[in-house]
Amino acid sequence: MSKARGIRPDRREFTRSVIGIPVQAVLHDAPTDDSHRVIGLHVLNVSRGGASVASQEALAPAQPLTLFFPPVGSGKGRDTRGEVVRCDNLGNHYSLGIAFEKPWPEHDEIHANSR
């Protein structure tokens, strides 16, 4: 790992895959009749343990949610519970880090464009 100033070591446990897909998310602590309970996110990359997503709305760290991943290619969709671990304001949108409650099974990891 580099010790250069401003470069943080990568703490990820699982390999990331760049996927670039839109998903829906349900915010767990929002009232069921709240029109902002379901939001659209754009997944930039995903691993067995979490995802990096773009959002038009800021979400607070520790915000619990469920991401609804649509089927990709010949795969199947999945619902994944997680929580926001990072929310960075990038001016015209927010960059969110989502940690999954439980890692995806190893055989379910997305392999296309892995980094």
Q: Domain spans of the chain? A: 17-103
Query: What's domain 17-103's architecture?
Result: Beta Barrel (2.40)
8 A C-beta contact, residue 93 and residue 54: yes
- Judged against a pLDDT cut of 70, whether residue 7 lies above it is answered with no
Residues linked to residue 83 through DSSP beta bridges, in sequence order = 64, 99
Which residue is it, tokens 């995806």? 104
To the question of pTM greater than 0.75 for the whole model, the response is yes
- Judged against a pLDDT cut of 80, whether residue 9 lies above it is answered with no
Instruction: Kindly list the distances between the CA atom of residue 53 and the CA atoms of 4, 32, 41, in Å, as whole numbers in the listed order.
Output: 27, 23, 6
pLDDT band, residue 12 (cuts 50/70/90): low
pLDDT band, residue 104 (cuts 50/70/90): confident
End-to-end CA distance of the chain: 16
Q: Enumerate residues 6+ apart whose C-beta is below 8 A from 56.
A: 39, 40, 93, 94
